[in-house]
Structure 1
């Protein structure tokens, strides 16, 4: 063989070798990644020939597959579309899947290893293959009330059972209609997606878990907890000046609206939380020191790490203040402090549960097509940020916020409510964010809630607290409370 032929033969051999290696890499190494890629419409098209399992809330299917006469055997439907869209997400020929449709795709699609014997039986019996069901922890009254109360604003509600961590509500507005993204008409799907894309605030984002925001005075519950855990009591007298010059700077910090917290320049810790005194808590955070405040924030879940419920939850953190001046601003929930509404609900839930924070979870059961239970979520303790004694003191202080202070709009007749308001500055000329966290009944907590209204422009007390009141009332009435 002459030299040119030898070079050609070697080149061909190298190319075939690379081709074989690439094919094996794609089919073996990347097979799972490509199969689960939401843009892989071939896999989705194959799945449309199998009845996809349902997402179930309190016995009602909020996502289900129905047979069609078209090329694709099944159509995904969402009977209450926008109400549960922040949780269900969508299942689309064009855009893949999101939220629970993605997080629990293997069960819903019937490809989960726990359904292997079912699939083998289907082959032998000729039975049509089907996916399993996902039963979630949401309470219909909580979810539906939250979505109704949030109508017209950009915001979110997260609600938890304090004793278990079960997610009772996960609402986000604006919302969208997943039916229009899950049709069998690709062009109609793209047109609706373009409409959503053009929205000022993306309706597909679940703001209860998908992003974090400055919490404002909601963070004062963390600082109060750190103080109580380090020798303070609700009656401890702390400085509460009209203005506070931040250490090492000429910058002065004022109270909301330039108000005065106390004619004497000092007040009790419980009074400072009741009226949400900025100067008092900024100085208190500085006096406690960053280590104590950070330790408490992380114990409540603000550790800068994301979590899965199984939906992915954005991290919450107090940031990294570089000096006492920044620590003072952080102590009133500004600077670089960021929190998801779910994290805010976790703070209220831990106080409500005698100081024990339960791991939040959204899925109660995974069921096979024959309704047998494949998996059941057991409540799990996440941490114990404060002792029962400190939790009791915090409850006393948060009850005072609703009874006598900035949270009056959260009052429920005949029910004692504990809570904390928050108003967070965003940027110059941009309306403030509004928050409320709380739980009820204060003496026997059954629900903990956080309400976030983006750029509401008012205060947490007049914007978010009334929403929290209606959500808590709806749940308690449903429980016979």
Structure 2
């Protein structure tokens, strides 16, 4: 009898634990499970839910569900222009990108209206919510076409609000008929050599690259905080030796006597390495952390953390050789184009980096606003005085230095080039960062073109086109 009682108690306890588990997963974690892009239940729900539309900031359709021959079809009018950020939604392939991360809105699950809640409870047909993005199709088109045929990325941000105005990765893919074309797309890329692979699914704006000389805008703050007199002259002789390590200039060019402004404008490696080492590793690391290195960037899509040291997101020290190389964006420094755009935007915004966002608002099927994003600061990387000094040097870089190819008539552009060595016998990555107008910045841009050579020659023209379009069309405004 005692044995039967123990078995009964054991079974009762097991059912109790099971019940707790069911309550936890079905009630407490229900929204989390539904929001997970890997949850195919979201995809299967679309048999009775009409997925909401995705629109750019001016109301242009980016993604929409239409009924064709009695079947729901997801339509992407802009083709591959918004990929891979936009992503896809497929019963066969699952969901990715914004189509995946915004599924709880697009399917009317998050903050469901009373009507949607009743329809969901009784598994009735219903409509999801519409999502309006901060992206501007005009800027996206300029960046997409300028990068077409290349490997690279472009990011444009409103420095005052953190709104992402353009997010382009090339090569990309056409989301139409992806179920049928998937195997062929993957197979075609697998046949290419490692160097020639297109990697169309890769979010290159989130990929990590050595930043090259664009890193000097970060190092600048370390120089200021070390007490460096920025008007003092330094003689650049084409190279220098620090702790037995040769620090060369690009093409061994001797810049002669330069102060801080001209050192940034001419992209003088030896100047930044010499005074960066004098500033010390603690100051440099503190500045880098202040710009978000090692930090999780708050954004609707996952952005890998940038780092100064491989495998250590919060280093407390750097040896002299690594510090010297890091000051001009080599060594082990890795940063994403997205983060580099945020850094540029922070300089433009008097040192304050705003929290980046790509969702502007969400509308229910009756077009009532369910959610609207408000600008919020993320980090204060610089004082206004420090940002003003860097801005002045970046303007000089455009008017008199290596960043001149980014210049625009009658507009004061603040820019910086970068030619980053990725390692191996390949061309450098071409970087260019800029914002404009320098006195009242409306847009900040970062562009990388992989293995393309110099930033001035290959990335600057793309940035110039994006800024020109933004200022001509006032891309931050509605039509």
Query: Which residue of the partner structure matches residue 74 of structure 2?
Result: 76
Distance 1:23 1:178 in 2: 42
Query: Which aligned pairs between 1:212-291 and structure 2 lie closer than 5 A?
Result: 212-238=208-234, 240-247=236-243, 250-262=244-256, 266-291=257-282
Query: Which residue of the partner structure matches residue 63 of structure 1?
Result: 63
Q: How many residues align?
A: 461
Q: Give the conservation status (yes or no) of the 8 Å contact 1:229–1:390.
A: no
Distance 2:374 2:296 in 1: 21
Structure 1 unpaired stretches of 5+: none
Query: Which aligned pairs between 1:372-391 and structure 2 lie closer than 5 A?
Result: 372-391=368-387
Distance 2:10 2:198 in 1: 52
Distance 1:120 1:38 in 2: 21
Distance 1:62 1:376 in 2: 19
Query: Which aligned pairs between 1:148-163 and structure 2 lie closer than 5 A?
Result: 148-163=145-160
Distance 2:47 2:191 in 1: 29
Query: Which residue of the partner structure matches residue 97 of structure 1?
Result: 95
Distance 1:409 1:123 in 2: 56
Query: Which residue of the partner structure matches residue 167 of structure 1?
Result: 164
Measure how far apart 1:270 and its partner are: 0.9
Q: TM-score, normalised by structure 1?
A: 0.88
Please state whether the residue corresponding to 1:110 is helix, strand or coil.
coil
Q: TM-score, normalised by structure 2?
A: 0.88
Please state whether the residue corresponding to 1:83 is helix, strand or coil.
coil
Q: Give the conservation status (yes or no) of the 8 Å contact 1:358–1:382.
A: yes
Q: Deviations over 1:17-68 (max 9, x none)?
A: 9899779857853874765554554541232331101111020120111113
Distance 1:300 1:259 in 2: 30
Distance 1:17 1:96, change over 3 A: farther
Structure 2 unpaired stretches of 5+: 310-314
Please tell me the root mean square deviation across aligned C-alpha atoms, in Å: 3.0
Query: Which residue of the partner structure matches residue 407 of structure 1?
Result: 403
Distance 1:159 1:480 in 2: 11
Q: Deviations over 1:194-246 (max 9, x none)?
A: 4466561311111112x211000000011112222443354232453432222
Of residues 127, 132, 138, the one that matches 1:130 is 127
Distance 1:127 1:464 in 2: 51
* Pair 1:110 & 2:108 matched: yes
Distance 1:270 1:397 in 2: 5
